[in-house]
Chains A and B, each alone.
Chain A
Amino acid sequence: MGRKILGTALLTTTALLAVAGCGGGGTGSSDETAAPPLNATSVSGTIKVLTNRTDLVQDGTMKKYAAAFGKEYPKVKVEFEGITDYEGEVKIRMNTDKYGDVLLIPAAVAKGDYPKFFAPLGSTGTMEQKYRFTDKTDVDGRTYGIANFGTANGVVYNEALWKRAGITEWPTSPQEFLADLKTVKDRTGATYYTNFKDGWPLVSPFTNSIGSVSCDAKASDNLAITDKPWGAGTDLNVIDTLLYDIVHDKLAEKDPSTTNWENSKSLLAKGKISSMVLGSWAITQMQDAAKKAGAGADSIGFMPFPVQKSGTYCSTLLSDYQQAVNIHSTHKAAARAWIDWFTEKSGFSEAQGAVSALRSAPLPATLKEFVDNDVTLVERSEADTAEVNAIDNASEIGLNKQDYRQKLIDIARGAQSGSLEDYFADLNKRWADAKQTAGS
């Protein structure tokens, strides 16, 4: 009898708590804009900044930024919290009110939910005059984030090695790129490197290149209205076919299943790897690795995706994480002051070799070759990213996940059965089906 009562009590408690526990995750009622303060001494308080750059928190770089900021805003104290698994952790923390004052918007947050989590920073009409990439966080005419920097997409390669193999010109088509890789491999033994095991290098550098092929700023948005993203001649078709061919022609590393990203940097610097498709943010890291290997920073080169559209190369320009202000923050003005200062005056994006979010700022030195060779930088529109992501998630393909390109590589090297055509057809079908359900 006693046991039965206890059982009932337990169940009831569980049920009650379960229901109560689901109430978490609040919507800030405040609609107030996090406007920049009028003068530096009018803001005060301690703000907490969440960042994915644990390396910069640990080596004290962020503290130096905070100290420089403190000189201008003496009453504001900035604290940093570096989070290794940024995406996973912050996404869960956002079920509470306490996700810092300034944070980077996790990719998992749906665009339509931005007004529930973040304070608006200003109307898009005025923000876009000053900043790049505002359409990524524009909801109903208001902007919720400012990019911490932008990156161009292309191929990082060991220029010295390619020169030694006798190649001095950038390839103008995927076929030329494959031929060049073959030449480099035959003459030096160095191969392309997929970073299959770590996975993410198969994701953003490739998916962000959507638009480099067609030279179309709307290339990504168009995914929301197409039924065949992998149809003949499309960006994704060209990009993924190139990856398939590299692996299929055995121009990539021998065993992709045990690759290692950290190690790949020094392998590239030492000339054991010929090239990797990456964003321009990687250039400084590769240059550091080259210096450590004693090769000199100028041995690392960056070329646009090997396709030309009417005689010119194009390279997509995309924003990294966007900085936003927590809607529950009690120091919104101070938080906004930090974002503005960090974007405009910290020198962070120059130090990273990345493109500043400010329209007025010059392109970084890492992209000098792009400027010299008249590569068209396409600032890709992110206006319909919410719809594209909704279809992507519904289809479980994962344009921003590693799985589908890992399968592509498995097919290419014969580890899984199937053909490229069938795989593209299957992806097209899943996309079209998902578009039906997610679009409604």
Chain B
Amino acid sequence: MTDSTRTAPPPDPLTGPPPAHRPRHRPADGRSRRRSWQDHPLRRATPWLFLLVPLALLITFTYVPVGNMVYYSFTDWDGVSPDRSFVGGDNYEELFTRPELFRVFAVGLYYLAASVVQIAAALYFATILSFDLRLRNLFKGILFFPYLINGVAIGFVFLYFFQDGGTLDSVLSLLGTDGDHAWLGDPQSANTALAGVSVWRFTGLNFVLFLGAIQSIPGELYEAAQIDGATRWQQFRHLIAPGIRPVLSLSVILAISGSLSVFEIPFIMTGGATGTQTFVIQTVKLAFQFNKTGLASACAVVLLLIILAVTWVQRRLVPDEKVDLV
């Protein structure tokens, strides 16, 4: 029943002919004329013409570089030399016989833990701000604002924040605590601090995603719930939570792939020193410091495959069901 080309007015229920008499199909001549126009090759090509520009951009800036990267991963290229030779799977063999290259994934656990906090905080604020509150637009702005700032700027801002005698230390001393702690000084505290910065930065994005999903739940459902005497918690539990499930599962996928491939914030703030090196920083260093572009490309390919695998497993465990609130 989605025939949008139907042009005949609906029959008047009182004066129109009974449905049985109404021709089920349009006159043959009109239909054939329409079909010939629809089958015109140009019309069939129209969607592809529209897609031409985005596809060209996609191929040029995504698929070609990825193809190049996969090709480099089978060579011993140093990143500069005009010569490179094909070495087959040597880079992959080296990668998988050096367990220390995978040990850096442990650092990702800090960010994974942080993303749990991040999703919880975003969900909390999104739920609260979806209700009618005073100044809710101001709070929405405040929460989303960090996501709009450039990651490099955030890195520098927080470098001053954490430095000896910096913002954090002075705030702590105002509260009477002795802030004599090098926040980025040892691996545990540095990674926690960096993960905290990442929470500060990305909560806004999750928040907006959740808020959008919550607001797309029809308002009459809330009204009905209120009439039935549901509490706020019951509204959340039975209306909001199921309503935003697809967005929630998307956020979890983004969080996991994000914590596997953390780069910007630790790279700018510590450069990977003091045990804050992540897999991507390590890859960048292999490629641009030690001129092992081939090995680094292999690392990148493996990271891509790991993320795809994790996503796949996750989708198998939590299938994306159709949600029907009504």
A residues with CB within 8 A of B: 10, 13-15, 17-19, 21-22, 25-27, 88, 91, 94-95, 106, 108-110, 113, 116, 196-197, 199, 254-258, 393, 396, 398, 401-403, 406-407, 410, 413, 415-416
Contacts and interface: CB of A to CB of B under 8 A. Distances in A.
Interface residues of B, number: 41
Given A18-B64, A197-B271, A396-B290, A91 B285 contact: no
B126 interface: no
A415 B64 contact: no
A94 B80 contact: yes
A257 B290 contact: no
Given A25-B82, A94-B80, A197-B270, 7 more contacts: A88-B288, A95-B80, A113-B83, A197-B271, A393-B290, A396-B286, A403-B285
Nearest to B81: A113
A18 B273 CA distance: 35
A254 B182 contact: yes
Given A18-B71, A255-B163, A415-B186, A108 B271 contact: no
B77 to A, nearest CB: 9
* Top 9 A-B pairs, shortest CB-CB distance: A18-B67, A258-B163, A255-B164, A257-B184, A255-B182, A406-B273, A25-B82, A415-B186, A14-B63
Given A27-B82, A401-B289, A258 B67 contact: no
Contacts of A94: 80
A91 B79 contact: yes
A17 B274 contact: no
A108 B63 CA distance: 27
A257 B185 contact: yes
A345 B160 CA distance: 44
A412 to B, nearest CB: 12
Contact of A402 (B70, B271, B286): B271
B250 interface: no
A258 B156 CA distance: 10
A26 to B, nearest CB: 7
Contacts of A116: 81-82
Interface in B164-192: 164, 166, 182-187, 190
Which of B83, B159, B162, B290 has the most chain A CB atoms closer than 10 A to its own CB?
B290
Interface string B248-279: 00000000000000000000001111110000
Contacts of A196: 273
A88 B64 CA distance: 21
B82 A22 contact: no
Given A254-B164, A258-B163, A396-B290, A416 B80 contact: no
A393 B292 contact: yes
Contacts of A398: 289-290
Chain B interface secondary structure, helix, strand, loop or mixed? loop
A18 B159 CA distance: 40
A227 B80 CA distance: 28
Nearest to B44: A2
24 contacts: A13-B59, A17-B63, A17-B64, A18-B68, A88-B288, A91-B79, A113-B80, A113-B81, A113-B83, A197-B271, A255-B164, A256-B182, A257-B183, A258-B166, A396-B290, A396-B292, A398-B290, A402-B273, A406-B273, A410-B273, A413-B185, A415-B185, A415-B187, A416-B275
Interface in B37-64: 59, 63-64
Contacts of A402: 271, 273
A17 B67 contact: yes
A22 B185 contact: no
B159 A258 contact: yes
A42 B249 CA distance: 71
Contacts of B183: 257
B273 A26 contact: no
A172 B67 CA distance: 58
Given A14-B64, A18-B71, A110-B80, A403 B185 contact: no
Nearest to A407: B273
B291 interface: yes
Contacts of B187: 415-416
A22 B294 CA distance: 13
Contacts of B83: 113
A257 B271 CA distance: 10
A196 B82 CA distance: 35
B291 A108 contact: yes
B286 to A, nearest CB: 7
Contacts of A258: 159-160, 162-164, 166, 182, 184
A207 to B, nearest CB: 14
